[in-house]
């Protein structure tokens, strides 16, 4: 589906508002939208709501052979899936420019910053390592997918637990969660991406652009930073020239935002750990809002099964009884197997009839032949053998 174009009126309105330091949702220039971090039922599942933008991250693992160049390092794989649910412009199974850009940025932000200890993921050097796969699904696109994805991915990685493994000689045992407690990944630091959008060739700057603002912006600067104020990656796109001061200012803003977000993520992880320890129910089902009129939840409900048996007996008695016995296969012609009666019986009868007719015809012919021989005899008597014989044959098929 094509994207609905942004009208000139809307564009002008948005830019005018930005010039007047106003934003559509009433935020200030450096404000983030509300961030909400929730966790799923299993380990390594995390939802991030950034305003109306919503992403889900799921971490999974499996044992694979390592890369030849790095025999004792585990593999971390990232994939941002732009689901068609998020926006009608996203198509399934097609790598769009946006998805390539986001995937690359997430890899640079999390893999190249070496925030995960890949050496601890090694099981047998050169043979078996853990591959950690991070799937980020975008559920709703309302701008700033990068920040939401990076928060979701790093939170899911911190939340994830992999199964415990032991090696005895050549034998490798993977323990189920019941046998041994799963092990968390060792995360050195938490890089978080902060996006800045620039308008009017870099004159105006906004933090955390929403979808509308993204559509009128001139350029984008993404800074990935951890709470120790170390820049993990920095990328400018859109082709605008930025001054050194602007970049410096952005990095300062980013450091403040990152420390806020890291604190929030830490709190969310802590709350979840406490809830799991206390054995409380946790997961998506528990995060369903109860106070909204659009949401409703029921408790376990019993299903009455009083007259089920009678009803079933009734249905089965009414139903036609299928033939229980299957006749043994027969061989009508060599090379043809047949089970049951031939349903083409009618045709056969017709064929028989036809054959009968043919028989009659042939008998008639014979009779005629008889007459013919007589006629021929007559002809013999007349002794006038010529071309006329054929004509006489024609006469042998009377219309009656």
Partner 1 sequence: MEACSISNLKLREFGCEQSLLSRPDGSASFIQGDTSVCAGVYGPAEVKVSKEIYDRATLEVLIQPKVGLAGVRERSQEQCVRETCEASLLLSLHPRSSLTLVLQVIHDDGSLLSCFLNAACMALMDAGLPMSCLFCGVTCAISADGQIVTDPTAAQEKESRALMTFAIDSTERNILMSSTKGSFSVHELQQCIVVSQKASEKMFQFYRDSVKRRYSKYL
Q: Give residues 307-326 in contact with partner 1 (rule: CB under 8 A).
A: 308-309, 311-312, 315-316
d(CA 276, CA 255): 31
Single residue of 243, 278, 293, 394 touching partner 1 by CB under 8 A: 293
The answer to the question of residue 33 lying near partner 1 (CB under 8 A) is no
DSSP secondary structure letters along 52-85: TEEEEEEEEEEEEPPPSS-TT--EEEEEEEE-TT
Residues 29, 142, 107, 237, CA torsion sign: negative
DSSP secondary structure letters along 123-148: EETTTEEEEEEEEEEEEE-SS-HHHH
Nearer to partner 1 by Cβ, of 200 and 287: the residue is 287
Min dist CB 42 to partner 1, Å, is 7
Residue 186 φ/ψ, nearest 5 degrees: -90, 110
The answer to the question of residue 58 lying near partner 1 (CB under 8 A) is yes
Tell me if 190 sits within 8 A of 158, measured CB to CB: yes
d(CA 273, CA 282): 10
Nearer to partner 1 by Cβ, of 136 and 222: the residue is 136
The answer to the question of residue 276 lying near partner 1 (CB under 8 A) is no
The answer to the question of residue 300 lying near partner 1 (CB under 8 A) is yes
The answer to the question of residue 332 lying near partner 1 (CB under 8 A) is no
Min dist CB 86 to partner 1, Å, is 6
The answer to the question of residue 38 lying near partner 1 (CB under 8 A) is no
The answer to the question of residue 41 lying near partner 1 (CB under 8 A) is yes
The answer to the question of residue 330 lying near partner 1 (CB under 8 A) is no
d(CA 269, CA 48): 13
d(CA 103, CA 132): 16
The answer to the question of residue 291 lying near partner 1 (CB under 8 A) is yes
Placement of tokens 């009968």 in the chain: 356
Min dist CB 291 to partner 1, Å, is 7
Min dist CB 398 to partner 1, Å, is 58
Q: Give residues 77-136 in contact with partner 1 (rule: CB under 8 A).
A: 81, 83-88, 92-93, 133, 135
Tell me if 211 sits within 8 A of 123, measured CB to CB: no
Interface residue list for partner 1 (CB under 8 A):
1-2, 40-42, 45, 52, 54, 56, 58, 60, 81, 83-88, 92-93, 133, 135, 137, 139-142, 283-285, 288-289, 291-305, 308-309, 311-312, 315-316
């Amino acid at each position: 589906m094509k994207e609905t174009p942004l009208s000139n009126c809307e564009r002008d309105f948005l830019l005018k508002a930005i010039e007047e330091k106003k934003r559509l949702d009433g935020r200030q220039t450096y404000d983030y939208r509300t961030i909400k971090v929730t966790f799923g039922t299993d380990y390594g599942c995390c939802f991030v709501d950034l305003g109306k933008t919503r992403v889900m991250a799921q971490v999974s693992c499996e044992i694979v052979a390592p890369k030849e160049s790095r025999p004792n390092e585990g593999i971390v794989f990232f994939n941002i899936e732009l689901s068609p649910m998020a926006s009608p412009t996203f198509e399934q199974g097609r790598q769009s420019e946006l998805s390539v850009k986001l995937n690359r940025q997430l890899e640079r932000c999390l893999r190249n910053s070496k925030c995960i200890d890949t050496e601890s993921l090694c099981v047998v050097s050169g043979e078996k390592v853990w591959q950690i796969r991070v799937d980020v699904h975008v559920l709703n696109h309302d701008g700033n997918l990068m920040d939401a994805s990076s928060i979701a991915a790093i939170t899911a990685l911190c939340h994830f637990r992999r199964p415990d493994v032991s090696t005895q000689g050549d034998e490798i045992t993977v323990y189920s969660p019941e046998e041994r407690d799963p092990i968390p990944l060792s995360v050195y630091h938490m890089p978080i991406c902060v996006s800045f959008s620039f308008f009017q060739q870099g004159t105006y700057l906004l933090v955390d652009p929403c979808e509308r603002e993204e559509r009128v912006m001139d350029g984008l600067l993404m800074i990935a930073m951890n709470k120790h104020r170390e820049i993990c990656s920095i990328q400018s796109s859109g082709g605008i020239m930025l001054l050194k001061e602007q970049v410096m200012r952005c990095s300062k803003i980013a450091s403040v935002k990152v420390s806020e977000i890291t604190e929030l993520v830490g709190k969310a992880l802590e709350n979840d750990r406490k809830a799991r320890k206390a054995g409380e129910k946790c997961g998506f089902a528990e995060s369903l809002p109860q106070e909204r009129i659009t949401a409703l939840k029921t408790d376990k409900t019993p299903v009455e099964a009083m007259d089920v048996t009678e009803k079933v007996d009734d249905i089965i008695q009414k139903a036609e009884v299928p033939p229980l016995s299957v006749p043994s296969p027969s061989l009508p012609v060599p090379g043809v197997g047949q089970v049951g009666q031939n349903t083409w019986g009618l045709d056969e009868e017709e064929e028989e009839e036809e054959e009968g007719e043919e028989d009659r015809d042939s008998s008639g012919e014979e009779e005629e032949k008889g007459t013919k021989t007589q006629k021929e005899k007559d002809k013999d008597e007349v002794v006038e053998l010529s071309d006329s014989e054929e004509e006489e044959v024609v006469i042998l098929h009377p219309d009656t």
